Amino acid sequence: MSQRQPNGPLRLGTRGSKLAMAQSGHVAEALTARTGRPVELVEVITAGDRSTAPVHRLGVGVFVSALRDALVAREIDFAVHSYKDLPTAMPAGLHIAAVPPREDPRDALVARDDRTLAELAPGASVGTGALRRIAQLHALGMQLSVSPIRGNIDTRLARVLGPDADLDAIVLARAGLARIGRLDVVTETLDPMLMLPAPAQGALAVECRVDDPEMVELLGTLDHAASRATVTAERAMLATLEAGCSAPVAAYAVVAEGEPTGSGVEGDVVQEIYLRGAVISPDGSRDIRLSRTGTLADAAEIGKALATELLDLGADSILGPQGHNGPGTQQFGSTE
C-alpha cells in the first residue's frame, strides 16, 4: 500500500484508452490550473478493457471496479470516470468530489457520404454499442439493419470511414468525439426527440476517498453545480427504476432560467431542471416517455418522481424480470 508523498504529484487513476486518457488529461490540467498542484496519470487496466464481449453482457461497473480498487488500496489519489459507467449504488468510503462542466450529452451519427439519419436508405447497416440506441433506432421505423459493436472510438470510426469499412453509419456519444478532437467526422448531432441520451452521458465523475479531506477540498474546485444537478436528476430516475442492462433506459435533463425569485434583485431568478425520461423495449415496439420540471435543489426528487410516473404507466412491463435487477445494477456502456 503506497501513500501520497507530501510534496509529490497527485496520482490520477485512469483507463488507458485514448478517450479515457484525454478525459483524465483535461481534469488534470484543470486541477493544476485551479490549485497549482501537479498531477500524474496512472494507467489502470479494467476488466472491460480486456474483454471483447458486447458491453451490455459484461456486467455492472466493468470499466470502474479496478479504478476503485486502486483508490481503496491508496495506489492512486483520485480517479476519473465516464459518469454513465458508474453503478448507481455508491460504495462505502468513496466520494464523487466533482462533476466538471458537462460536454454536450447528445448522440452523434457518423455516416458515409456525409449522410444524415433521414438520408439513410432502408436496410442501411448501422452499428452502435448501446442497447438504448439500438432500441431507439428500431423505434424510428426506418427498417435499418442495426447491430451492436465494440471497441474504442478509432476502431468504431474505421467501421464506417476506414478502407475496410463494413457499415453505413455508426452512432456514438458526441462527448467522446469532442474530447478527442474528432467532431469533424460527425454528420449529424441527433435531436433528443429522436435519440434520448443515456443517463449522465457526457458527464465525468471525479472520485476520491472520503477519508482524504485534502483531495475532497482540492477536487471541489472543479465541481459545476448545474452539471451535478442534471446528472443527479437523471441517475435518480435510473436508480428508482432499478433498471438492468437488458432494458434500454434514457434520460436527459437541462437547466433553464425559471421565474424571478421575488427577492427584488434584478436578474435574480430560480434555475429549473427540465427532465425527460424514457423506457424502450429492445425491439423498439414499445416505449413510455415522460417529462418533469423542478428546481436544482430538488434534482434527486424530480428524478425519483419521474421514475415513479413511468412505473405507474407500465414501465415495469417493458423492463421485465430481467430488466428489474435491483439498485446499483445499471451498466449502459462506456462513453466510447
- Edge-to-edge strand ranges of the sheet holding 204-209: 39-43, 10-14, 78-82, 204-209, 94-98
- Residue of 49, 69, 77, 85 marked active site: 85
**Ramachandran region, residue 271 (left: φ > 0; alpha: ψ -120 to 50; beta: rest):** beta
Using N-to-C axis directions, what is the helix angle for 18-35 and 153-161, rounded to 10°? 130
Q: Which of 97, 94, 146 is nearest to 120 (CA)?
A: 146
Question: What is residue 324's DSSP assignment?
Answer: B
CA 324, 59, 44, 33 dihedral sign is: negative
136: which 3 cell numbers? 431507439
**Ramachandran region, residue 11 (left: φ > 0; alpha: ψ -120 to 50; beta: rest):** beta
Known catalytic residue at 85: yes
Catalytic residues: 85
